[in-house]
Amino acid sequence: QVQLVESGGGLVQAGGSLRLSCAASGRTFSRYTMGWFRQAPGTEREFVAAIRWSGASRYYADSVKGRFTISRDNAKNTVDLQMNSLKPEDTAVYYCAADPRVWDYGRLEDPNYFGSWGQGTQVTVSS
CA 24 – CA 3 distance, rounded (Å): 6
Q: Can you say whether the dihedral through the CA atoms of 39, 118, 61, 79 is positive or negative?
A: positive
Residue 101's pLDDT band (cuts 50, 70, 90):
confident
Q: What is the DSSP string of the chain?
A: --EEEEE--EEEETT--EEEEEEEESTTGGGSEEEEEEE-TTS--EEEEEE-TTSS-EEE-TTTTTTEEEEEETTTTEEEEEE-S--GGG-EEEEEEEE-SPP-TTTTT-GGG--EE---EEEEEE-
Question: Lowest mean pLDDT: which of 67-71, 91-95, 101-105, 106-110?
Answer: 101-105
Q: What percent of the chain is modeled with pLDDT above 70?
A: 100
Look at residue 67 in the predicted model and tell me its pLDDT. Answer: 98
Residue 30 is predicted with a pLDDT of 83
Whether residue 27 is predicted with pLDDT greater than 80 in this model: the reply is no
Q: Kindly report, residue by residue over 36-81, the tens digit of the pLDDT.
A: 999 999 999 999 999 999 999 999 999 999 999 999 999 999 999 9
